[in-house]
C-alpha cells in the first residue's frame, strides 16, 4: 500500500553543506556511475554525443547567485536530489504501490517491477527529484544507495551513498536524523540547517547547511588619510558643487 | 505542465462520456431499440476511448492493471476503479434499453452516481497537487464537473438544462482563470524558499544545472505558447459555451444539437490545453523558470 508509515524507526538522509560545496559535480558522476550498474534499470542517456543530449540523473548540481541587500553577491552551488520526505506526496499519489517509504529507515523507493510510468509521482514532488527513464519507462529516483549502505561485501568506509563517498570537499554528510546525537543532527543544529520549501508540507528529512557569513573587509588604518581636501580652484568647485 | 495530447483527449472525451452515461443511467433520456444501442454506444465509446487514450502516456502500459490496487491513498487508482465500476454497473441498463428487456433501472441510478464519482476522482488527480498551485484549488473539480454535466445534458438533448449548465461552465472557467492567476503567489513558493537562500538575499540562477533538456524541463516546465493565453481564453469561452448555448436556444433539432456538441468539444480542447499549458509547477523555481 502506498500509504505512508505512521513513523519510521530511523530517518536516514543527507545534510548538504552549501558552504563547502564547490560545484564540481563529482557526486553527480558518482551517482550516475553507481546507479547505472546495480539497483534497477540503468540510467539511460539519449543522444549523449549528439546535438541534443538528454539523460536520467538522480542528482543535479545547480548554481545560484545570492545578492544580499548590503554586501557583495555570493555564489552558492546547490546539489538537488530526493529529500526522503516524511510526508512524501510522491508515495501517496502512486496508483500501483510501486512507490513506498520504508518503515525501518525512511528511505523512499520505487519498485520498478510494479511501476507503470504514469509520472504522477514526479508531478507530486516539489523538488524535481524523480525522473522517468526514457528507455525503461519506469520512474527513477535517489535510493540513498540502499545497495551500498547495508552492503557487507563493501569495506566499511564505502557503506555510504556514492555521492557522499565521492565528494572531495566533504560537503555531503549521511546519517540518521532520528538520532539527535548523529553527525547529521548535530551539524544541522550547529549550523542552522534548513528544509527546502516547507510550505509544500512534505517534511523533508534532508537538510541544507547555509553558507557561512562572509568576512567583511576591515576599514583600512590609513582610511582617514583618504579624505583629502582639495584646494585652489578644485576646492572651490568641490564646495560649489556640494552646495547645489 | 506539458499539455500531452493523450491526456487532453482523455480528460475531455471521458469527461463528456461519463457525463452522458450519467444522464442515460438516470433515465433522462430512455431510448429503445437501435437508438438505445447508438446512444449508449456513444457514451461507452467516449468514456472507454478516453480511458484508452490515457494509457498511451504510460511508460509501461502493459502493467496498467496494477493501477487498481492503491485506492486507499491514490486518486489515480480510485479513478480507475470508479471508471470500471461505472461501466460495469450501467451495462445491464444499456442492454435492457437496447433489447427491451424491461429490467430494473436501479443499477442505472447507482451507475450515474458512480459516473459522477469518476469525474470527481479525475479532477482530484490534478486538484490534489500542491506542487501545481493553479490546479490545487476548488475551481478544478468545479470545472471538470461543469464540463461533464453540460456536455452530458447537451448530448441528452436537454436544451434548457444544457444552456443553464453552459452558463455555469463559463462561470467555472472564468473562476479557474481568475483564481489560478493568483494561486502561485498565494502559495508563496519562491526561488528563495526553493533554495532556502532567500533569507540571505535575492536569489537568481548563476549557472544552469545542465545545458541540455531533461525530463523535468520537458514534462513540468513547459513555457511554450503562453503568449496567446488571452486570445485562447476568449476562444475557449466562445466555442465551449457561447456558440453551443446560442445554437440550442435558437433551434431544437438533433442536427443543431450535434453542431452544438461539436463546437463545444473544440472549445473544450482549447480550455483543456490551457489548463495544462498555463499550469506552473514549483520545480521550475530551481531553473529560474515558471
Ligand atoms: S524529495 Fe520528492 S521524490 Fe523525494 S520523498 Fe520528497 S517528494 Fe518524494
Ligand atoms: S510513475 Fe511509477 S512510481 Fe510513479 S506514481 Fe506512477 S506507478 Fe507510481
Q: Is A8 in the pocket of ligand 1 (CB under 6 A)?
A: no
- Residue with more model confidence, A112 or A235: A112
The pLDDT assigned to B57 comes to 84
The pLDDT assigned to A128 comes to 96
- Please give the average per-residue pLDDT across A210-216, as a whole number: 86
What are the pocket residues of ligand 2 if the criterion is a CB atom closer than 6 Å to any ligand atom? A 93-96, 98-99, 110, 115-121, 139
* CB contact at 8 A, A202 and A126: yes
Ligand nearest to the CA of A92: 2
pLDDT at A2 > cutoff 80 = no
Q: Which atom of ligand 1 is nearest to the CA of A141?
A: 3
With cut-offs at 50, 70 and 90, classify the pLDDT of residue B180.
Answer: very high
Q: How far apart are CA A16 and CA A60, in angstroms?
A: 13
Q: Give the CA count within 13 Å in the CB-facing half-sphere of B79.
A: 26
Of A162-166, B95-99, B151-155, B250-254, the poorest mean pLDDT is in B250-254
pLDDT at A195 > cutoff 80 = yes
Task: Give the start-end residues of each E strand in B144-250.
Answer: 202-207
Q: Which atom of ligand 1 is nearest to the CA of A142?
A: 4
With cut-offs at 50, 70 and 90, classify the pLDDT of residue B54.
Answer: confident
The pLDDT assigned to A187 comes to 97
The pLDDT assigned to B254 comes to 86
Per-residue pLDDT tens for A4-16? 988 888 999 999 9
- Residue with more model confidence, B91 or A232: B91
Question: Which helix (H) or strand (E) covers residue A130, if one does?
Answer: strand A130-132
The pLDDT assigned to B213 comes to 86
Domain extent listing, chain A: 12-209
* CB contact at 8 A, B48 and B113: no
Identify all chain B residues contacting A210, using CB atoms and an 8 Å cutoff: 196-197, 199-200
Q: How far apart are CA A109 and CA A124, in angstroms?
A: 15
Ligand nearest to the CA of B76: 2
**Which residue is it, cell 488527480?**
B125
DSSP secondary structure letter of residue B32: -
The pLDDT assigned to B100 comes to 87
Torsion angle (degrees, nearest 10) of CA A92, A94, A97, A102: -50
Q: How far, CA to CA in Å, does B224 sit from each of A126, A132, B9, B97, B106?
A: 21, 21, 19, 47, 48
- Quote the cell numbers at residue B189: 513558493
Measure B37 CA to nearest chain A CA, in Å.
Answer: 33
Per-residue pLDDT tens for A14-65? 999 999 999 999 999 999 999 998 789 999 999 999 988 999 999 999 999 9
List the one residue out of A94, A6, A203 whose CA is nearest residue B128: A94
- Quote the cell numbers at residue A83: 529529500
- Please give the average per-residue pLDDT across A132-136, as a whole number: 95
- Nearest residue (by CA) to ligand 2, atom 2, is A115
The pLDDT assigned to A225 comes to 67
**Which residue is it, cell 548523529?**
A182
The pLDDT assigned to A224 comes to 67
The pLDDT assigned to A227 comes to 66
In angstroms and rounded to an integer, the radius of gyration of the C-alpha atoms of chain A is 24
At the second CATH level, the architecture of A12-209 is 2-Layer Sandwich (3.30)
* CB contact at 8 A, A106 and A8: yes
Identify all chain A residues contacting B129, using CB atoms and an 8 Å cutoff: 89, 93, 123-124
* CB contact at 8 A, A161 and A174: yes
DSSP secondary structure letter of residue B196: S
Q: How far apart are CA A232 and CA A223, in angstroms?
A: 23
The pLDDT assigned to A243 comes to 85
* CB contact at 8 A, B113 and B162: no
Are the beta carbons of A114 and B202 separated by less than 8 Å? no
A100 CA distance to ligand 2 middle (Å): 10
Per-residue pLDDT tens for B261-277? 999 999 999 999 999 99
Per-residue pLDDT tens for A82-126? 999 999 999 999 999 999 999 999 999 999 999 999 999 999 999
* CB contact at 8 A, A57 and A32: yes
B215 CA distance to ligand 1 middle (Å): 16
pLDDT at B278 > cutoff 80 = yes
- Please give the average per-residue pLDDT across B153-171, as a whole number: 94
CB contact A106 to B (< 8 Å): no
With cut-offs at 50, 70 and 90, classify the pLDDT of residue B201.
Answer: very high
Mean predicted lDDT score pLDDT of chain A = 92
B10 CA distance to ligand 2 middle (Å): 19
A163-167 long-range CB contacts below 8 Å, 24 or more apart? A163/A14, A163/A27, A163/A28, A163/A30, A163/A31, A163/A59, A163/A79, A163/A81, A164/A14, A164/A27, A165/A30, A166/A26, A166/A27, A166/A29, A166/A30, A167/A21, A167/A26, A167/A27
Q: How many CB atoms lie within 10 A of CB B194?
A: 27
Q: How far apart are CA B105 and CA B159, in angstroms?
A: 24
* CB contact at 8 A, A120 and B203: no
With cut-offs at 50, 70 and 90, classify the pLDDT of residue B127.
Answer: very high
Per-residue pLDDT tens for B12-41? 999 999 999 999 999 998 888 899 999 999
Measure A174 CA to nearest chain B CA, in Å.
Answer: 20
pTM: 0.91
With cut-offs at 50, 70 and 90, classify the pLDDT of residue B55.
Answer: confident
Which conformational region is residue B255 in: left (phi greater than 0), alpha (psi within -120 to 50 degrees), or beta? alpha
* DSSP β-bridge partners for residue A16: A172, A208
Q: How far apart are CA B93 and CA B40, in angstroms?
A: 9
Of B78-92, B128-142, B210-224, the poorest mean pLDDT is in B210-224
The pLDDT assigned to A240 comes to 86
| Helical residues (DSSP H) of chain A, grouped into ranges | 26-34, 89-92, 120-124, 146-149, 162-166, 183-191, 223-226, 232-243
Q: Which of residues 265-284 of B touch A (CB under 8 A)?
A: 281-283
Q: How far apart are CA B264 and CA B270, in angstroms?
A: 10
- Please give the average per-residue pLDDT across B200-224, as a whole number: 89
The pLDDT assigned to A150 comes to 95
Q: How far apart are CA A100 and CA B70, in angstroms?
A: 11
Q: How far, CA to CA in Å, does B103 sit from each of A25, B34, B91, B95, B108?
A: 69, 17, 11, 9, 10
CB contact A58 to B (< 8 Å): no
The pLDDT assigned to A1 comes to 55
Q: How far apart are CA B85 and CA B90, in angstroms?
A: 9
Percent of chain A with pLDDT over 70: 95
With cut-offs at 50, 70 and 90, classify the pLDDT of residue B198.
Answer: very high
ipTM above 0.95, yes or no: no
Percent of chain B with pLDDT over 70: 99
- Please give the average per-residue pLDDT across B127-133, as a whole number: 97
Q: What are phi and psi of A23, to 5 degrees?
A: 70, 35
CB contact B135 to A (< 8 Å): no
Question: Which helix (H) or strand (E) covers residue B267, if one does?
Answer: helix B254-277
Amino acid at each position: 500500500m502506498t500509504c505512508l508509515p505512521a513513523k519510521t524507526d530511523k530517518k536516514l538522509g543527507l545534510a548538504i553543506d552549501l558552504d563547502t560545496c564547490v560545484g564540481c559535480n563529482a557526486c553527480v558522476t558518482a551517482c550516475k556511475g553507481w546507479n547505472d550498474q546495480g539497483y534497477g534499470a540503468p540510467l539511460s542517456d539519449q543522444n549523449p554525443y549528439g546535438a541534443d543530449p538528454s539523460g536520467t540523473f538522480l542528482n543535479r548540481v545547480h548554481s545560484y547567485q545570492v545578492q544580499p541587500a548590503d554586501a557583495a553577491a555570493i555564489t552558492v552551488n546547490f546539489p538537488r536530489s530526493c529529500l526522503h520526505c516524511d510526508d512524501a506526496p510522491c508515495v501517496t499519489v502512486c496508483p500501483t504501490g510501486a512507490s513506498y517509504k520504508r518503515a525501518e529507515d525512511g528511505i523512499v523507493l520505487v519498485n520498478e517491477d510494479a511501476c507503470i510510468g504514469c509520472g504522477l509521482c514526479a508531478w507530486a514532488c516539489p523538488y524535481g527529484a524523480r525522473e522517468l527513464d526514457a528507455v525503461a519507462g519506469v520512474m527513477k529516483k535517489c535510493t540513498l544507495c540502499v545497495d551500498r549502505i547495508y552492503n557487507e561485501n563493501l569495506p566499511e568506509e564505502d557503506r555510504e551513498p556514492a555521492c557522499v563517498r565521492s565528494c572531495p570537499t566533504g560537503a555531503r554528510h549521511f546519517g540518521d536524523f532520528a538520532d539527535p546525537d548523529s553527525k547529521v543532527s548535530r551539524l544541522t543544529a550547529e549550523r542552522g540547517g534548513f528544509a527546502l520549501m516547507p510550505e509544500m508540507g512534505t517534511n523533508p528529512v534532508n537538510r541544507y547547511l547555509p553558507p557561512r557569513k562572509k568576512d567583511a573587509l576591515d576599514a583600512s588604518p590609513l582610511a582617514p588619510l583618504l579624505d583629502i581636501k582639495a584646494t585652489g580652484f578644485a576646492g572651490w568647485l568641490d564646495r560649489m558643487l556640494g552646495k547645489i | 505542465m506539458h499539455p500531452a495530447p493523450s491526456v487532453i483527449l482523455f480528460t475531455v472525451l471521458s469527461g463528456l462520456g461519463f457525463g452522458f452515461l450519467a444522464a442515460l443511467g438516470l433515465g433522462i433520456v430512455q431510448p429503445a431499440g437501435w437508438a438505445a444501442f447508438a446512444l449508449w454506444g456513444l457514451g461507452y465509446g467516449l468514456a472507454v476511448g478516453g480511458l484508452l487514450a490515457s494509457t498511451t502516456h504510460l511508460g509501461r502500459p502493459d502493467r496498467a492493471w496494477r493501477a487498481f490496487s492503491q485506492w486507499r491513498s491514490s486518486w489515480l487508482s480510485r479513478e480507475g476503479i470508479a471508471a470500471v465500476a461505472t461501466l460495469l454497473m450501467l451495462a445491464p441498463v444499456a442492454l435492457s434499453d437496447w433489447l427491451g428487456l424491461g429490467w430494473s433501472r436501479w443499477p442505472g441510478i447507482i451507475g450515474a452516481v458512480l459516473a459522477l464519482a469518476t469525474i470527481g476522482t479525475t479532477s482530484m488527480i490534478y486538484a490534489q497537487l500542491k506542487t501545481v498551485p493553479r490546479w490545487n484549488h476548488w475551481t478544478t473539480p468545479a470545472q471538470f464537473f461543469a464540463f461533464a454535466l453540460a456536455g452530458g445534458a447537451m448530448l441528452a438533448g436537454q436544451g434548457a438544462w444544457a444552456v443553464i449548465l453552459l452558463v455555469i461552465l463559463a462561470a467555472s472557467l472564468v473562476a479557474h482563470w481568475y483564481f489560478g492567476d493568483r494561486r502561485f503567489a498565494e502559495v508563496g513558493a519562491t526561488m528563495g524558499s526553493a533554495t532556502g537562500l532567500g533569507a540571505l538575499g535575492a536569489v537568481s540562477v548563476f549557472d544552469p544545472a545542465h545545458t541540455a533538456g531533461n525530463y523535468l524541463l520537458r514534462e513540468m516546465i513547459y513555457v511554450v505558447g503562453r503568449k496567446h493565453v488571452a486570445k485562447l481564453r476568449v476562444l475557449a469561452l466562445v466555442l465551449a459555451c457561447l456558440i453551443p448555448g446560442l445554437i440550442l436556444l435558437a433551434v431544437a433539432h438533433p442536427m443543431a444539437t450535434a453542431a452544438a456538441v461539436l463546437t463545444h468539444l473544440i472549445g473544450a480542447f482549447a480550455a483543456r490545453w490551457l489548463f495544462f499549458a498555463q499550469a506552473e509547477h514549483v520545480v521550475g523555481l530551481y531553473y529560474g523558470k515558471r
